[in-house]
């Protein structure tokens, strides 16, 4: 009935990231990091925050997502060009994209192996390898 466990940890985590633990940031952090790994857009998170009774402006949601990203708490994923997705799981892993819903799902386990990666061009280094497995309903007529 008093699930006020992670509040202190979150505040501390924000402070360590150089961010003041404001009401809004704590609320968003709690939604993002309170449970399982998640994939959210700014708008989804905004709606959720409001539904949870937290007054936060959409602009602040955007700002906060980018600050969390800069702090290494989130990773941004580009999948469809129209929306920006943020992933609370910052470790190395890959995704299913359910194309007709625009929904991202972590690929369970870390079984994916990539072999035969070529040398990057002179003067560059690999910062990250993104693998997105696009899914469509089995019966879908259109690809």
* Least distance (Å) between residue 72 CB and DNA: 15
* Footprint (CB under 8 A) of its own copies, residues 84-143: 84, 96, 98-99, 105, 107-109, 111-118, 120-121, 123-138, 143
Determine if 81 is a binding residue for its own copies (CB under 8 A): yes
Residues in the chain: 143
Binding footprint of its own copies, residue count (CB under 8 A)? 42
**Phi and psi at residue 65, to the nearest 5°:** -60, -40
Q: In whole angstroms, give the CA distance from residue 124 to residue 102.
A: 32
Alpha carbon 65 to its chain's center = 9
Question: For binding to DNA (CB under 7 A), which residues are involved?
Answer: 15, 19-25, 41-43, 55-60, 62-64, 66-67, 81-84
């Amino acid at each position: 009935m008093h699930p006020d466990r992670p509040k202190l940890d979150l505040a501390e985590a924000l402070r360590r990231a150089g961010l003041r633990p404001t009401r809004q940031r704590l609320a968003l952090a709690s939604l993002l990091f309170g449970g399982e790994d998640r994939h959210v857009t700014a708008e989804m998170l905004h709606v959720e925050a409001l539904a949870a009774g937290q007054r936060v402006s959409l602009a602040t949601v955007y700002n906060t997502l980018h600050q969390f990203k800069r702090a290494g708490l989130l990773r941004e994923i580009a999948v469809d060009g129209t929306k920006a997705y943020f992933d609370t799981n910052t470790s190395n892993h890959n995704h299913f994209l359910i194309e007709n819903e625009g929904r991202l799902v972590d690929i369970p386990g870390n079984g994916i192996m990539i072999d035969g990666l070529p040398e990057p061009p002179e003067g560059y280094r690999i910062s990250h390898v993104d693998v997105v497995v696009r899914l469509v309903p089995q019966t879908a007529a259109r690809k």
